[in-house]
Structure 1
Amino acid sequence: MAEVSLADTRKVFGTHTVIPELSLSVPDGSFTVLVGPSGCGKSTLLRMIAGLETTSGGRIEIGGRDVTAVTPSQRGIAMVFQSYALYPHMSVRDNISFGLRLARRPAAEIDGKVRRAAEILQLEPYLDRKPAALSGGQRQRVAIGRAIVRDPGVFLFDEPLSNLDAALRGQMRIELLDLHRRLGSTMIYVTHDQVEAMTMADKIVVMNAGRIEQAGSPLDVFDRPQSPFVAGFIGSPRINFFKGGIAESRGGDMVAVRPEHLRIVETGGRWRGRIRLLEQLGTDTLVHVTLTDGDEIVIRAPRMGPELQDAQVAIDCDDRHFHVFCDGQRVD
């Protein structure tokens, strides 16, 4: 296990600054998720930690050791990529042990580590199979097993589940969390999927245009977003934004309310509109409403019938659920 620390780290490609000066502390033993839209710099940052991208400035420490100029193989890390990158002509056993064999480790050590990784990842029945005979989830576990046998201080994951279907992604999220609990290792995980980030992380780092917008626990980031970007990116369905008098009366230029905190009321209400679309989720219904001023909002409501399509409704919200922003920052 090892803490990862970045101090004023930056990355420049030619005249283009991908990551301005950035500082981040990843606690020892944490499952930290870097999340943000495509092109925000999260994968570049991960590759800098791995040593696959050189830094243009600043300092990177792993386990208290300055590794800024250290080669990837000497950083005490193991990386799992989006593509499985398995050798198709090798068995699962040989794929997992390849790095150890390349390093000429003793046969008994290699066998012991491969068996331990296979047990942890439930790959024991497949050790003599080729990758072509495995499912996508099993292939990803082989790639993870190849990382486990290196006994790294830090695991780095670069969108490892993005090639899997939705059901398998859900299963693999659980398996990765179970793996983290069993190993207790520091893990840094990159994804653009905010649901993955919320369900897997004990620390979320929300990135935008190479900068850290906010870092904290999943519930802290969800309950107290520090900028409109974080409020809009974290949470599904997306948060609703309101401008005008309701924001100004609270000292801001924008108010945000999550869909689950809006409710349809029989009388009164701050807003009025027409139900444009109903998305049935079974126990809940996502109600898409066009307000009288033309804005579109979404309400997560208890199950509603299709007969309410096109109905005129009044909408309200408890004041304590308002997120107020001014000049791009949260107003407490």
Structure 2
Amino acid sequence: MAEVTLVDIEKTFPGNTTVIHNLNLHVEEGSFTVLVGPSGCGKSTLLRMIAGLETVTRGAISIGGNDVTTAEPSDRNIAMVFQSYALYPHMTVARNIDFGMRLAKVPVQERKDKVADAARLLNLEDLLERKPAELSGGQRQRVAIGRAIVRNPGVFLFDEPLSNLDAALRNRMRVELAELHQRLAATMVYVTHDQVEAMTLADCIVVMNAGRIEQMGTPMALYHHPETLFVAGFIGSPKMNLIGGEVAKEYGAATIGIRPEHLDVSHDAGEWQCRVRVVEMLGADAFAYVDCDAIGPLTVRLPGDAELRSGDTLYLTPRHDLLHAFDADGVRLPNETLEWPRASMA
């Protein structure tokens, strides 16, 4: 295990295009830190700079207390798992896992022991003699992870490793990665654009936007207390309802936000009168997509047995203690400064 520290990091590509702006980040030893954000926010570039695959324009990177800013990737005590599995198709699983150790001339018995340990950890014991073409996508990804594990690195770096898998495999691999982190107690830095992956895997989420850190903290801290409008709209599934205009001004804000599960629903009375457009029945939950005359479209989370149909009228009342408010610059306003309108906005 090793901590990772980035100090005043900038990255500028030819043509004077700056993609990382004066960024500071400390990754705790043994943590599972997820870098998340939309495409083009700089998260993969940042990971590649930690790995040594991209040069740093300005600033310093240290791993385990050692300055590695200009060090070669092989000298950084890291192992990287990519989106593509990059397995050798003519080699067995066992040979793929121990390939790097063979290049490093690790003794035969030590290689065998490490491959066996990794296979046991990743449930690959029955697959060691198979070729990659005989494996599922999830099994191939586990082989790629096994190849990283046998290196015994100080830091694991993951670059969107699940994006090529179907939904069911992604869900299963999320659980397996979380369990792997618990068993190894290793430092992991993980890049994804999927906020569901970030919420379910991370000890610490780093939300990036346009080459800067927008906010970082535990998953639930970001969920309950987004510091900016960007984080409020990015973290959470389904997304937070964001409302501007005259309704927000009634609360003394430029924008207010309320999560779909924090709207009280009535068929008789409430602050906002709405008409149901579509209802998605998902089993335990139902999502109602509604239009409110004074506000516009909103999403409401309901129990799965809710009896609603398109065209029904609903009255919604936001739970004021769970409402989020932002100023014109998209910065969070403290709730104690807000005004609470009592009249219906229907």
Between 294-303 and 110-119, the greater mean CA deviation after superposition: 294-303
1:244 equivalent in structure 2: 245
Q: TM-score, normalised by structure 2?
A: 0.93
SS of structure 2 residue aligned to 1:213: strand
Between 227-236 and 307-316, the greater mean CA deviation after superposition: 307-316
Q: TM-score, normalised by structure 1?
A: 0.97
Between 269-278 and 248-257, the greater mean CA deviation after superposition: 248-257
Q: Which of these residues, 327, 330, 334, is aligned with residue 328 of structure 1?
A: 330
Contact 2:208 2:214 in 1 (8 A): yes
Structure-1 separation of matches of 2:308 and 2:144:
51
Post-superposition shift, 1:305? 5.6
Contact 2:94 2:128 in 1 (8 A): yes
Contact 1:280 1:303 in 2 (8 A): yes
2:140 paired with 1:139: yes
1:216 equivalent in structure 2: 217
Counterparts of 1:171-190 in structure 2, within 5 Å, are 171-190=172-191
Q: CA RMSD in A?
A: 1.3
**Residues 192-250 of structure 1 deviation map (CA, whole Å, 9 limit, x = unaligned):** 11001000101000011111100000000000001111011110111101123443344
Instruction: Work out the number of aligned pairs and report it.
Output: 332
Structure-2 separation of matches of 1:73 and 1:100:
13
SS of structure 2 residue aligned to 1:308: coil
Contact 1:263 1:301 in 2 (8 A): no
2:3 equivalent in structure 1: 3
Structure-2 separation of matches of 1:304 and 1:179:
36
Structure-1 separation of matches of 2:80 and 2:151:
10
Between 213-222 and 271-280, the greater mean CA deviation after superposition: 271-280
Post-superposition shift, 1:308? 2.8
Counterparts of 1:110-121 in structure 2, within 5 Å, are 110-121=111-122
Q: 1:304 to 1:245 in 2, by over 3 A?
A: farther
SS of structure 1 residue aligned to 2:2: coil
AA aligned to 2:5 is: S
**Residues 251-270 of structure 1 deviation map (CA, whole Å, 9 limit, x = unaligned):** 32110000000122244422
Identity of aligned residues (%): 58
**Residues 250-304 of structure 1 deviation map (CA, whole Å, 9 limit, x = unaligned):** 4321100000001222444221121111111112211111111361110001235
Post-superposition shift, 1:128? 1.0
Post-superposition shift, 1:164? 0.7
Post-superposition shift, 1:6? 0.4
AA aligned to 1:9 is: I
Contact 1:251 1:331 in 2 (8 A): no
AA aligned to 2:120 is: E
Post-superposition shift, 1:317? 1.3
2:289 paired with 1:288: yes
SS of structure 2 residue aligned to 1:330: coil
SS of structure 1 residue aligned to 2:142: helix
SS of structure 1 residue aligned to 2:55: coil
Structure-2 separation of matches of 1:246 and 1:66:
52
Post-superposition shift, 1:182? 0.9
AA aligned to 1:73 is: S
**Residues 121-160 of structure 1 deviation map (CA, whole Å, 9 limit, x = unaligned):** 1111111111111111111010000000100000000000
Contact 2:279 2:308 in 1 (8 A): no
Contact 1:228 1:328 in 2 (8 A): yes
SS of structure 2 residue aligned to 1:161: coil
2:206 equivalent in structure 1: 205
SS of structure 1 residue aligned to 2:169: helix
2:236 paired with 1:235: yes
Structure-1 separation of matches of 2:2 and 2:308:
57
Structure-2 separation of matches of 1:245 and 1:135:
53
Could you tell me which runs of 5 or more consecutive residues in structure 2 were left unpaired when the two chains were aligned: 335-346
Between 44-53 and 309-318, the greater mean CA deviation after superposition: 309-318
Structure-1 separation of matches of 2:128 and 2:303:
48
Structure-2 separation of matches of 1:16 and 1:206:
21
Between 89-98 and 267-276, the greater mean CA deviation after superposition: 267-276
Contact 1:272 1:314 in 2 (8 A): yes
Q: 1:245 to 1:152 in 2, by over 3 A?
A: same
Contact 2:268 2:314 in 1 (8 A): no
AA aligned to 1:176 is: L
